Chains A and B, each alone.
Chain A
């Protein structure tokens, strides 16, 4: 009996255990990824694949020479990523430090700050569309504070900051719990020792806390950078890329090219560039922060 089961020497087990995972992974992720290299050089319109004609470098030429919108959306996405990654992580660190003190409402606060994160970007965008267009207007009337009276989401500037605000609101609590976990892992006597040596708050922060939580900083920067750079749901429901196309993220530009303009071939080419951009940015970021981890 035992011998019979072991006869194929592991092959049966290999197929049963690894097979299902591989079938789905290869069909859903790997196959489309490889197909992308082919489709990106065709004029595929999304419908008749048989009629998709190989166009060589036409899509690439078009992207690099004529497609200003694509580059504008790249520039927008880079600005958005830089600002929101910085803001989300600063707020998250601040919250983490506050929640490390002996607050009575600590647990409740953690829940509240984390809460927006469990709701999907689509719904968050709609919630804030209401807040920006109706809620802010009402608060503006009541208080007369200029900030609330701005034409929120109606101008490129307010659209940009609107997206940043919602992204930070959604992400800060999540990063906060990662920072709390890291801060809780710092030995207390280390902090005490530094204090006895006369370290003041800014020094303590720069020379003790930051190096010790560097792994968490790497993770949080990675997560926020990659999420911000790939932002789509929020973009779709909050501003729809507007006004005009002024707040169009890269992901949204690809979506619009394919599903609104029906240029799937061109969309695939952009999607491939998008993949290279995401890889480049996240790998560089992890490489930089990892180096800091080592030296710390």
Chain B
């Protein structure tokens, strides 16, 4: 089972695995080929290769969902949230590990326990809180939400990692006259790079793909509509118009697929590390 030699049985296994991989990929293939067909052609035969490539599907959808705007909104929300999650959660984890106290232990326990709370159990009251703070429909409102929801897992991951960073390094810097902030940002933070990558990847995938939170917190503000929300609205308006709907889908999944394919080793490792420690 664990053999490292290539035997005839390995070859058969390889064929089977490749066939299964093709089955895994087939939905992408069908969506892609049909996204450049006319509606009639899709309805007549969804499996055929497009007879004439119809790029207009894309230009129509591009304008209809205002793709550049939705893309920019998603990007902006994701990047801002991830930057502050990394910053605040690493600082908090550092404090919890290096200054152990009953209070800090309690905070850590609270963060960990909160991981089990499903989003649906908070969402209705959360919208209320966000409205009270007059943050509904604001960019900073949704970023604030991601910061709150992102803290537990991120603090937990940093916590586990910082425990392995030798304290002697910090002591040496302190002797040299650095204050605690200098020690953290100049000495400790750069050492956290591996776990920072994990935290960035886990949060990016989650925030970029998130649907319900933007719907609830952004509400009617069209200027902030994210990509998944824009596509959902579009689907609601164009049910059964598969030519346009599929082009919209391809446009929506392309950015995240490119992100994955270009960073796949980091992503697979990051996700694995995140869940094994989580």
Residues of A within 8 A of B (CB): 2, 5, 10, 13-14, 16-18, 20-22, 24-25, 27-33, 35-36, 39, 46, 49, 95, 97-105, 108-123, 126-128, 130-131, 134-135, 137-139, 142, 169, 173-174, 177-178, 181, 183, 186, 188, 191, 201, 204, 216, 219, 223, 226, 230, 232-233, 236-237, 250-251, 254-255, 258, 264, 267-268, 271-272, 274-275, 278-279, 282-283
> 11 pairs across A/B with beta carbons < 8 Å?
A24-B88, A100-B1, A119-B253, A120-B210, A134-B43, A135-B47, A226-B116, A267-B124, A271-B123, A278-B117, A283-B116
Does B198 sit at the interface, judged by CB under 8 A? no
Q: Contact check, A275 vs B121: say whether CB atoms are below 8 A apart.
A: yes
Return chain B residues, CB-CB under 8 Å to A17: 91-92, 94-95, 184
Return chain B residues, CB-CB under 8 Å to A123: 209, 228, 231, 249, 252-253
Most buried by B among A18, A110, A137, A142: A18
Known: A122-B231, A123-B253, A223-B275. A275 touches B118 (CB 8 A): yes
Return chain A residues, CB-CB under 8 Å to B191: none
Does B114 sit at the interface, judged by CB under 8 A? yes
Q: Contact check, B21 vs A112: say whether CB atoms are below 8 A apart.
A: yes
Q: Contact check, B27 vs A128: say whether CB atoms are below 8 A apart.
A: yes
Please, how many angstroms separate the alpha-carbon atoms of A223 and B3 in the complex? 30
Please, how many angstroms separate the alpha-carbon atoms of A177 and B145 in the complex? 30
Known pairs A98-B17, A118-B257, A120-B228 / 14 extra A-B pairs, C-beta < 8 Å:
A5-B179, A32-B123, A95-B20, A103-B14, A111-B268, A118-B256, A120-B256, A123-B249, A130-B30, A174-B275, A177-B268, A219-B278, A236-B232, A278-B117
Q: Contact check, B13 vs A103: say whether CB atoms are below 8 A apart.
A: yes
Which single residue of chain A is at the shortest CB-CB distance from B228? A122
Which single residue of chain A is at the shortest CB-CB distance from B147? A24
Does B235 sit at the interface, judged by CB under 8 A? yes
Return chain A residues, CB-CB under 8 Å to B252: 123
Does B221 sit at the interface, judged by CB under 8 A? no
Q: Contact check, A254 vs B148: say whether CB atoms are below 8 A apart.
A: no
Please, how many angstroms separate the alpha-carbon atoms of A249 and B117 in the complex? 17
Binds A, one of B62-70, B163-171, B258-266: B258-266
Q: Contact check, B122 vs A36: say whether CB atoms are below 8 A apart.
A: yes
Please, how many angstroms separate the alpha-carbon atoms of A28 and B217 in the complex? 12
Does B71 sit at the interface, judged by CB under 8 A? no
Return chain B residues, CB-CB under 8 Å to A105: 14, 17-18, 21
Q: Contact check, A102 vs B104: say whether CB atoms are below 8 A apart.
A: no
| Nearest 5 interchain pairs by C-beta | A28-B148, A120-B209, A21-B92, A32-B125, A17-B95
Closest chain-A Cβ to B12's Cβ sits at a distance in Å of 11
**8 A Cβ contacts from B89-112 to A:** 89, 91-92, 94-96, 99, 104, 107, 110-111
Residues of B within 8 A of A (CB): 1-6, 10, 13-14, 16-18, 20-21, 24-28, 30-31, 34, 42-43, 45-47, 84, 87-89, 91-92, 94-96, 99, 104, 107, 110-111, 114, 116-126, 128-129, 133, 144-145, 147-149, 151-152, 155, 177, 179-181, 184, 205, 208-212, 228, 231-232, 235, 242, 245-246, 249, 252-253, 256-257, 259-261, 264, 267-268, 271-272, 275-276, 278
Q: Give which listed residue, A27, A267, A272, A282, contacts B148 with CB less than 8 A.
A: A27
Please, how many angstroms separate the alpha-carbon atoms of A236 and B215 in the complex? 13
Closest chain-B Cβ to A99's Cβ sits at a distance in Å of 7
Q: Give which listed residue, B91, B104, B144, B205, contacts A28 with CB less than 8 A.
A: B144
- For the A-B complex, the count of residue pairs with Cβ-Cβ distances under 8 Å equals 277
Q: Contact check, A18 vs B124: say whether CB atoms are below 8 A apart.
A: no
Return chain A residues, CB-CB under 8 Å to B242: 130, 134
Known: A24-B147, A27-B144, A101-B1. A258 touches B124 (CB 8 A): yes
Q: Contact check, B1 vs A32: say whether CB atoms are below 8 A apart.
A: no
Most buried by B among A35, A97, A173: A35
Which single residue of chain B is at the shortest CB-CB distance from A182? B276
Please, how many angstroms separate the alpha-carbon atoms of A118 and B25 in the complex? 14
Please, how many angstroms separate the alpha-carbon atoms of A201 and B27 in the complex? 34
Return chain A residues, CB-CB under 8 Å to B20: 95
Q: Contact check, B149 vs A278: say whether CB atoms are below 8 A apart.
A: no
Return chain B residues, CB-CB under 8 Å to A272: 121
Return chain B residues, CB-CB under 8 Å to A22: 92, 107
Closest chain-A Cβ to B110's Cβ sits at a distance in Å of 7
Q: Give which listed residue, A14, A31, A127, A201, contacts B31 with CB less than 8 A.
A: A127
Known: A18-B107, A21-B151, A134-B242. A35 touches B129 (CB 8 A): yes
